[in-house]
Amino acid sequence: MTHTTVAVIGGGPAGLLLARMLHNAGIDSVVLESRDRAYVEQRQRAGMLEQGTVDALRECGAGARMDREGLPHNGIELRFDRRAHRLDFPALTGGSSVMIYAQTEIVKDLVALQLDEGGPLLFEAQATAIGDGYVTYRHEGQEKTLTCDFIVGADGFHGISRAVVPSGRVYEADYPYSWLGVLADVAPSTDELIYAHSPRGFALHSMRSPTVSRLYLQVPNDTDPAAWDDEQIWDELDLRFAIDGDWKLARGPITAKAVTPMRSFVTEPMRHGRLFLAGDAAHIVPPTGAKGLNLAVADVVVLARALEHWRRTGKDDLLDDYGDICLRRVWRAEHFSWFMTTMLHLAPGQSDYETRLQLAQLHRIATSEAAAAELALNYTGTV
């Protein structure tokens, strides 16, 4: 049996960033990750970082490679009615922007720091039970117990932590469509993300690096990605991104395909006794607003500060406020993600009236500085 101040369940970006921030604050921790290192470092997820996330990574010493290799973005493009409309984030927000830097790379950076400088990071360590001040886990074929002052559940929606919180209130919504996401070895056809509303459904052009494109198509739920061959995917993307003009979508080898369902989920409270939930263990947003990773980072920034305050003063007041502080931001992001999703996607059986309402909202954003600023402030995490 071993003891630590903070047991962190989950070695994704939230758990690893928290461990790094605690290390810098002089608070010991142990990170338990159920998967092996290769899986964790290759797990494809988000890649759009708000300014607050960029600042948190820099402040904890994990921003050097991001600053060298990340792609700063000063806006996004909305496409509808075969026209393109760019939103200038710094102009609309008073200077805020975003950064494209893949979650896989954030995790690699944080793993390397934790193994070199931080507390124990145990891969293939499956948490099996959570109690009052302890976690039992299976590692290297043995059942072990880790005692602790606090437990942080950063193990995602399907992890053990969420189920431990009793009498919680759950809010959730499922959407009647999914995303078919692909990675392609081709330079992006755009300098900034393109969000497209088309009569055929939604499409998104993103990127992971100057040589790797990340693209998405709205598809029906339960779509088998293998049912789409590469040519079909590129042809459909061409149709959905089409505008009047000479813009052209570059094609290249598709190296990965996956279907992502769209859902919203929030559980309250985010704390039970010594257990604190963070990231996807407490909330999920549809990816249209690019909020999932950023919400997880915001959670652990609040929690790290509360734990540092507890260590310095012995007071629990900031720990007691953790859930309320985080949930205010969570619900703002839930609303924005719902807004972006329902404005840009076509629901099955959608009427012409509903489509015209979507286009009216898009036209307002394209022609009203106030409406454009509201989107930009939410997208960059400024509000």
The CATH number assigned to the domain holding 233 equals 3.30.9.10
How far apart, in Å, are the Cα atoms of 319 and each of 133, 194, 274, 305, 355?
Answer: 16, 40, 10, 9, 45
Tell me what pLDDT residue 1 has.
72
d(CA 150, CA 132): 9
Shared domain for 129 and 192, answered yes or no, is no
Q: Which of 175, 177, 322, 379 is catalytic?
A: 379
- Is residue 248 annotated as part of the catalytic site, yes or no? no
8-state DSSP, 211: T
CA dihedral (266, 376, 360, 177) positive or negative = negative
| Average pLDDT score over the chain | 96
Least confident residue range of 40-54, 151-165, 255-269: 40-54
CATH number for position 297? 3.50.50.60
Shared domain for 10 and 112, answered yes or no, is yes
Shared domain for 353 and 213, answered yes or no, is yes
Residue of 56, 69, 65, 57 lying closest to 100 (CA atoms): 69
In sequence order, the β-bridge partners of residue 184 are 213, 254
Q: Is residue 132 assigned to a domain?
A: yes
Q: Which of 195, 197, 216, 257 is catalytic?
A: 195
Tell me what pLDDT residue 204 has.
98
Q: Is residue 224 assigned to a domain?
A: yes
Strands 212-219, 271-272: pairing kind: unpaired
- Is residue 73 annotated as part of the catalytic site, yes or no? yes
Residue of 282, 285, 279, 258 lying closest to 271 (CA atoms): 282
Q: Is residue 85 assigned to a domain?
A: no
Number of domains in the chain: 2
Shared domain for 121 and 243, answered yes or no, is no
Averaged over 223-232, what is the pLDDT? 97
Question: Would you say residue 209 has pLDDT above 90?
Answer: no
- Is residue 101 annotated as part of the catalytic site, yes or no? no
**SS3 call for 26:** coil
- Is residue 287 annotated as part of the catalytic site, yes or no? yes
Q: Is residue 79 assigned to a domain?
A: no
Q: Is residue 86 assigned to a domain?
A: no
Shared domain for 326 and 217, answered yes or no, is no
Shared domain for 255 and 157, answered yes or no, is no
Shared domain for 271 and 358, answered yes or no, is no
Question: Would you say residue 247 has pLDDT above 90?
Answer: yes
Q: Is residue 88 assigned to a domain?
A: no
Shared domain for 66 and 179, answered yes or no, is no
Tell me what pLDDT residue 383 has.
75
For helices 292-313 and 317-344, the axis angle rounded to 10 degrees is 170
Q: How confident is the model at residue 47 (pLDDT cuts 50, 70, 90)?
A: confident
Rounded to two decimals, what is the model's pTM? Answer: 0.94
Question: Would you say residue 341 has pLDDT above 80?
Answer: yes
- Alpha carbon distance, N-terminus to C-terminus of the chain: 44
Quote the tokens at residue 249: 């979508």
Shared domain for 124 and 232, answered yes or no, is no
- Is residue 379 annotated as part of the catalytic site, yes or no? yes
Where do we find the tokens 């976690």?
A: 135
Q: How confident is the model at residue 382 (pLDDT cuts 50, 70, 90)?
A: confident
Where do we find the tokens 């404005």?
A: 343
Shared domain for 107 and 211, answered yes or no, is no
Least confident residue range of 168-172, 252-256, 265-269, 363-367: 168-172
Shared domain for 51 and 153, answered yes or no, is yes
Tell me what pLDDT residue 107 has.
97
Shared domain for 142 and 219, answered yes or no, is no
Contact 229, 182 (CB under 8 A): no
Q: Is residue 83 assigned to a domain?
A: no
Quote the tokens at residue 74: 């000063």
Radius of gyration of the chain (CA): 21
**SS3 call for 186:** coil
56-73 pLDDT, tens per residue?
Answer: 999 999 999 999 999 999
Q: Which of 73, 197, 205, 257 is catalytic?
A: 73
Buried b (16+ CB within 10 A) or exposed e, 50-74: bbbbbebbeebebbeebeeebbebb
Q: Is residue 93 assigned to a domain?
A: no
Q: Which of 23, 197, 291, 345 is catalytic?
A: 291
Helix %, strand %, coil % of the chain (to 5): 40, 30, 30
Quote the tokens at residue 145: 């117990």
Query: Which range of residues forms the domain containing residue 28?
Result: 2-73+99-172+263-340
Question: Would you say residue 44 has pLDDT above 80?
Answer: no
